[in-house]
Chains A and B, each alone.
Chain A
């Protein structure tokens, strides 16, 4: 890692030092304001676009003209100090630079457009689906992300039909996401094209990505590209964080809600030198308020202290070298459980002491996570051949997790490293491109579990070298195909092939049909994947560790996207059908026994089928509408006689979203309003019928509706205030916690110790919640 970093530094410095005194070298470029939607294979397309064919001359000798080459580079014989270098190009404002003896200069040209006082409206719809990309990728931009005050990634999908977000259980405060009817662990979540939440971090990792840090989210359904590993089955979610190229010089967000959560987010950008720029991102959450709105003796959500920081450094070299280097620190502490276990005046250190010695006065759940990540990406584009590039990506993370839930204690540590080297090129012409490369994964787990009766310790070291090849074919704009295969040699499970295929056929200019098929595998970490189940008296039946197998699944699907006009205004309709089959799966069986969580390898069949329809329409100049419906049928064969339908999966879900934006005034102030009405159908719940009547719950959760409203007042592009209400209809799950006291029926301590279960959450617990926040930016100086 360090060596690589140094090598890049030295190389970068080397190119700077390499200059001849009698020539002036330089590069002509302009800053593109277009966002690039897809960073293929991690090698970025530059946002600074080089300008070939620009004229470069000295004002003292205007007849000697040099022309910038294919990469914008030029070389001109030096002139006397104080002479002016003139750089011109059709369509751009001519730039003049007074020569002061430099050996290298970058010359950005302003395009003729002045954006000084102008109305900048790069009008883009908030969610975009490309008709041309063979992968079925949906991109959510900032506009979409600000429609709900999403505090972190796990809350960012509420207005998205492709991803379901579960409701937080009362104890962990985590939201699981689900794609194509399957848990989020079967999708590959990436941050800036590097491995994101996975391993022991798979659930909570979503909370470590604050919403205000996010620039865009790309959701790709189907197995996806092979270049990023073997773990994706149902889809890939790539979160593009704000980086030195797209961040505002300063962005601050403050948020508070009625549940006592206070949040701070900040992103700032600094330019260090011509080649280096950096962003600093910080996030802090605090919640000290003891909420128990349903008076069941349990907190409705956890108390929190989260501190997250990220520093990212970006290098843009002159000759095709680019690099991104980042460090992430995460420190989080949270506590939940019975109100009786806490004291309003208790100092935070007192709360965290319960991690070592649980409270005697009530059931408590205390968690502490420390995590550090470093990553380095370096890419090189060959100056003579834009289509050839090499990229290297390295990521290392160290994850320490400790929790004490009741009398059950868990500590886990994971050290993860992945190196990925990619080479992209073409075969003959740019319609036939390929990416190939090798990867190396090392993943070390050390988990210790202390339950009432047993103490288990598990170590696992995974070493997985792999190689991949992916071919992209474009045929007459009508057809494009991405076909890839990778082979990985796992030190425990042996060799594994993952073939993947994506194809796109445009029936007409506005209608495209996409096909996706692929296979993937992953290693399960049940203790962390079932984090919510720790909030119960269920004992862990960990027989699965005797015969530890990877989870393997194949996914295939079709997507039809059509863009058309309705009442003279743009509209689109997308229809999806996907199917996932498991070859092996670690089955989580909560039905066999209401006091146990049973884990075993799949014996029989497991599949998830899903269908989805999404309709978007710009109804009016100021009004947008989205209507979506999705259907899921997810089944798993469980041990004899247990229901096969997966629990906590609603068969039907639909929502309608109306968005309103007023006209921009002279000062660019604006009103924005969004209303999302969601209906979630019935869900099967794990069986509790063997419990005494007081501790039974229905086997099926009723369907329910939820309404979220938000209004934003943008005073200027740099300052806006928003307020909203989540769950405005105030729907609350009936008696969410088994073993809590409802309707004054007392629960004895021994019953509590046997039947308590807070993990059966399918709907909001807190009820209606008000929130408000503000966003303040310093905008970049306009280009004039």
Chain B
């Protein structure tokens, strides 16, 4: 029982721990579930708390530690993975790395597959 309490306290305390955190939402271009996977995986970085890209609204919501990332850096993460944002565009080389069905600049469109259904 003692361990139990100690463990529980531990996890709440890390939540309370001091660094500044913020959440940011911006547009990221993409067309399908595969894009979603690629975008979200790109944000699997230390200092990123949570990330979610919505296929329908094309909005990326990212929670991050403000001392690790600036807003521009956050945009750049998506661009480096080949996906344009409002303020940072992917280079042609980065864009060329995308799978055929994800070429959003050419208007590729994908099926409904890969959308996250919440049950």
Contacts and interface: CB of A to CB of B under 8 A. Distances in A.
Nearest to A30: B111
A91 B111 contact: yes
Contacts of B72: none
B101 A568 contact: no
Contacts of A6: none
B1 A679 contact: yes
A619 B13 CA distance: 12
- Give the most central of B8, B38, B48: most A CB within 10 Å: B8
Contact of A111 (B3, B15, B113, B119): B113
A115 B35 CA distance: 11
A34 interface: yes
Contacts, number: 84
B91 to A, nearest CB: 22
Interface string B29-44: 0001110011001001
- Give the most central of B11, B15, B108: most A CB within 10 Å: B11
Interface string B91-112: 0000000011100000011111
B87 interface: no
- Give the most central of B8, B41, B101, B109: most A CB within 10 Å: B101
Contacts of B21: 567-568
Interface residues of A, number: 36
B110 A91 contact: yes
A115 B34 CA distance: 8
A568 B8 contact: no
A627 B119 contact: no
Interface residues of B, number: 33
A112 B111 contact: yes
B76 interface: no
A121 B111 contact: no
Contact of B48 (A570, A621, A663, A677): A621
Nearest to A115: B34
Interface in B43-96: 44, 48-50, 63
Nearest to A109: B111
Contact of B3 (A110, A112, A677): A677
B20 interface: no
Contacts of B3: 656, 677, 705
A113 B119 contact: no
B110 A113 contact: yes
A111 B112 contact: yes
Contacts of B4: 627, 654, 656, 677, 679
A349 interface: no
Contact of A677 (B7, B49, B109): B7
Contacts of A111: 110-113
A112 B32 contact: yes
A15 interface: no
Contact of B11 (A34, A617, A654): A617
Given A119-B41, A567-B49, A91 B8 contact: no
Contacts of B33: 113
- Give the most central of A30, A91, A619: most B CB within 10 Å: A91
Contacts of A566: 15
A567 B119 contact: no
A128 interface: yes
A128 B11 contact: no
A91 B48 CA distance: 33
A92 B112 CA distance: 9
A81 interface: no
A37 to B, nearest CB: 5
Contacts of B11: 617, 619, 625
Contacts of B109: 90-91, 112
A679 B1 CA distance: 7
A144 to B, nearest CB: 15
B7 A92 contact: no
A568 B49 CA distance: 7
A143 interface: no
Given A621-B44, A677-B4, A91 B37 contact: no
B99 A118 contact: yes
27 contacts: A90-B109, A92-B111, A111-B110, A112-B110, A113-B32, A113-B113, A114-B34, A114-B99, A114-B101, A118-B34, A118-B37, A119-B41, A121-B41, A130-B119, A132-B119, A567-B15, A567-B49, A568-B50, A568-B63, A569-B50, A570-B50, A617-B11, A654-B1, A654-B4, A656-B4, A656-B7, A677-B4
Interface of A: 30, 33-34, 37, 90-92, 110-115, 118-121, 128, 130, 132, 566-570, 617, 619, 621, 625, 627, 654, 656, 663, 677, 679, 705
Interface of B: 1, 3-4, 7-8, 11, 14-15, 21, 23, 32-34, 37-38, 41, 44, 48-50, 63, 99-101, 108-114, 117, 119
In the A-B complex, the 7 residue pairs with the closest CB atoms? A111-B111, A568-B63, A112-B110, A111-B113, A91-B111, A568-B49, A567-B15
Given A112-B110, A113-B33, A113-B111, 17 more contacts: A30-B111, A33-B113, A111-B113, A112-B32, A118-B34, A119-B41, A120-B37, A130-B119, A568-B49, A568-B50, A570-B50, A619-B11, A619-B14, A627-B8, A654-B1, A654-B4, A677-B3
